Chains A and B, each alone.
Chain A
Amino acid sequence: IMLTQSPATLSVTPGESISLSCRASQSISTNLHWYQQKPNESPRVLIKYASQSISGIPSRFSGSGSGTDFTLNINRVEPEDFSVYYCQQSNSWPLTFGSGTKLEIK
């Protein structure tokens, strides 16, 4: 299953609220997870199963979607949020990731 993330790069000002997109090549129900990766760090999971929160992750991160279209929302971007975001599907094997969206400071 291919995951297409858009945009590839998003330039925003801290304090803005944004949405990142992940589109699957076929229906994956809600078997979609979101990760954040900061430079020179390992990824960390932000959202599981499309919309379920993860303990310890700030509440400004939320997810939505089902089927083929998914969205990661960040309410009022903080300076520490500028990084790369990946989606990952677990509906079928092999597990696959999107190519990522880089969130950068405008």
Chain B
Amino acid sequence: QVQLTESGPGLVHPSETLSLTCTVSGFSLTGYSVYWVRQPSGKGLEWMGRMRYNGDTSYNSALKSRLSISRDTSKNQVFLKMNSLQTDDTGTYYCTRVPRGGYYFDYWGQGVMVTVSS
């Protein structure tokens, strides 16, 4: 079955770089796109960026200068790196799958909580 699992550090210091990994199973990264969505603590949802099935990437302009998404198809992994973290980047980070031809999120990972604090 389709699964997405996020992993990464729970604590990041201000101004440092966040590195997260999304490991997928049950589908191929060359067949489906993976999107990153975050949720600041107690708040709503924000689309961050995406790794398309063909290897292209695109980013939310609000985060573009700080964000990078890459992948390793041999390991079924998608990576997120975001630099210059601040306290308002604290929250839960999800990787999600988007169905072919669609732009809604049909499968979500369990999320990883990231706290930005000194």
Q: Interface residues, chain A, CB within 8 Å of chain B?
A: 31, 33, 35, 42-45, 48-49, 54, 86, 88, 90, 93-100
Contacts and interface: CB of A to CB of B under 8 A. Distances in A.
Nearest to B48: A94
B104 A88 contact: yes
A47 to B, nearest CB: 9
Contacts of B45: 43, 86, 88, 97
B102 A48 contact: yes
A58 B61 CA distance: 36
Contacts of A96: 47
Interface of B: 35, 44-47, 58, 60-62, 94, 102-106, 108-111
The 4 closest A-B pairs by CB, nearest first: A90-B103, A42-B108, A33-B104, A95-B47
Contacts of A93: 58
A23 B58 CA distance: 26
B94 to A, nearest CB: 6
A42 B110 CA distance: 6
Nearest to B92: A42
A97 B47 CA distance: 8
Nearest to A93: B58
B61 A94 contact: yes
B44 A43 contact: no
B99 to A, nearest CB: 9
Nearest to A55: B106
Given A31-B103, A90-B103, A99 B108 contact: no
Given A42-B94, A95-B47, 12 more contacts: A42-B109, A43-B105, A43-B108, A45-B105, A86-B44, A90-B103, A93-B58, A94-B47, A97-B44, A97-B45, A97-B46, A100-B44
B104 A90 contact: yes
A94 B60 CA distance: 6
Contact of B104 (A42, A45, A94, A99): A45
